[in-house]
Structure 1
Amino acid sequence: MRAAALLLALAAGSLSGCGLQPVYAGGGNGAVASGLSDIAVAPIEGQSGWLMRDALIERLGAGADRGGAARYRLDVRLDNRLEGLGLLKDDTIGRERRTLRARYRLVDIASGEVVLDTTSGSDAGVDVVSSEYATIAAEQSALENLTQVVADRIVATLALKLRGGRGAATR
């Protein structure tokens, strides 16, 4: 019993010295949260672009929709594809895959320097059913869900970059 307690104490002590720190330390007033709110999201083309921009603005905070007062600009290009996968006996498509890929760049507005240039994406399967309306609704739902997933990934990458990665975009 004492050996287990001693082992637990040693493990806890070693974890505190490992250098792990929360990304959002300081909450809404922390460096990452204020850095994210200093990012303006440029308009993105198409319906998927509108959905993505809205999701990014929601996640980045109040400053993301302002034009000239931001420190950074986020430029996003989307590749939204819907392709048939499985053929049924009657040569109709039975399954589709919706893929959403984003190439995005974080640009320092003052200097024009590209601080981050990377990609993110996700995909989802859609069953093609006898009701055309149901299939269209499923395709639309897949796009909306993928937009949320990719927006989360983009913001997580931006937060890590603003936290202090290589060539960090810190205040």
Structure 2
Amino acid sequence: MIRAIILLAACATLSSCGLQPMYAGGSNAAIAQGLASVAVPAIPGRDGWLVRNALQDRLGIATAGRSDAPTNYRLDVRLDDALEALGVLGDDTITRERRILRARYQLVDVTTGEILLDATSGYDAGIDVVSSEYATIAAEQRALENLAKEVADRIATRVALTLRERRRGGPAGE
């Protein structure tokens, strides 16, 4: 009984703070339609292929299977993928690596050429270097796949916030 009262109080507090679901209305929501109208040009490299696919999954999720969505925005992405040695023993043997994936991206209104968002995002992951070269390469590739998904999530969130603020008429991030 006490938990129910606390839950009701928490819900009342959230509704009074102005918190609004971004995707209210499902695929017909303005945000979902705005995200579906973002084109992501090809990004060079394997890391670019992974990030682009993840972005397309996140941005077009509301209109899966629809090819009639107009393209109002373009998302230009440049990536920097680096692999650093962290744990180096006295005999120059590497025991730990860090994979870093950084993205610089711009959301461009294709009708006006205006840059609506110019930002960076990045993430990194630690990798244990083991005696099996195959296992180490597999771990590096798996880290890249996970980083691509994380970076794409962050980019998609910023794009969604920018489009929401644009609809409201205010600057994003305030």
1:55 corresponds to: 54
Q: In the TM superposition, what whole-angstrom CA distance separates every residue of 1:17-74 from its partner, at most 9, and x where no partner exists?
A: 22110111111110110000000001111110111111111111158xx7x9400000
1:92 corresponds to: 93
Amino acid at match of 2:55: L
1:141 corresponds to: 142
1:43 and 2:42 correspond: yes
| Greater mean alpha carbon deviation, residues 11-20 or residues 157-166 | 11-20
Q: In the TM superposition, what whole-angstrom CA distance separates every residue of 1:56-113 from its partner, at most 9, and x where no partner exists?
A: 11111158xx7x9400000000010001011124221110000000000000001000
Cα distance change of structure 1 residues 33 and 91 upon mapping to structure 2, 3 Å threshold: same
1:154 and 2:167 correspond: no
| Greater mean alpha carbon deviation, residues 108-117 or residues 154-163 | 154-163
Calculate the TM-score normalised by the size of structure 1. Answer: 0.86
Cα distance change of structure 1 residues 49 and 9 upon mapping to structure 2, 3 Å threshold: closer
1:104 corresponds to: 105
Cα distance change of structure 1 residues 54 and 164 upon mapping to structure 2, 3 Å threshold: same
Structure 1, unaligned runs of 5 or more: none
Calculate the TM-score normalised by the size of structure 2. Answer: 0.84
Q: CA RMSD in A?
A: 2.4
Cα distance change of structure 1 residues 8 and 149 upon mapping to structure 2, 3 Å threshold: closer
1:71 corresponds to: 72
Q: Give SS of 1:130's match.
A: coil
1:25 and 2:24 correspond: yes
Amino acid at match of 1:147: A
Amino acid at match of 1:18: C
1:80 corresponds to: 81
Structure 2, unaligned runs of 5 or more: none
1:164 corresponds to: 165
Cα distance change of structure 1 residues 48 and 15 upon mapping to structure 2, 3 Å threshold: closer
Distance in 2 between the 1:161 and 1:128 partners? Answer: 40
Distance in 2 between the 1:118 and 1:153 partners? Answer: 11
2:120 corresponds to: 119
Distance in 1 between the 2:89 and 2:34 partners? Answer: 51
Cα distance change of structure 1 residues 9 and 81 upon mapping to structure 2, 3 Å threshold: closer
Aligned residues: 163
Cα distance change of structure 1 residues 60 and 9 upon mapping to structure 2, 3 Å threshold: closer
Query: Residue 115 of structure 1 contacts residue 167 of structure 1 at CA under 8 Å; is this kept in 2?
Result: no
Distance in 2 between the 1:75 and 1:117 partners? Answer: 10
User: Structure 1 vs Structure 2: percent identity of aligned residues?
Assistant: 62
User: Larger radius of gyration, structure 1 or 2?
Assistant: 1
Cα distance change of structure 1 residues 10 and 74 upon mapping to structure 2, 3 Å threshold: closer
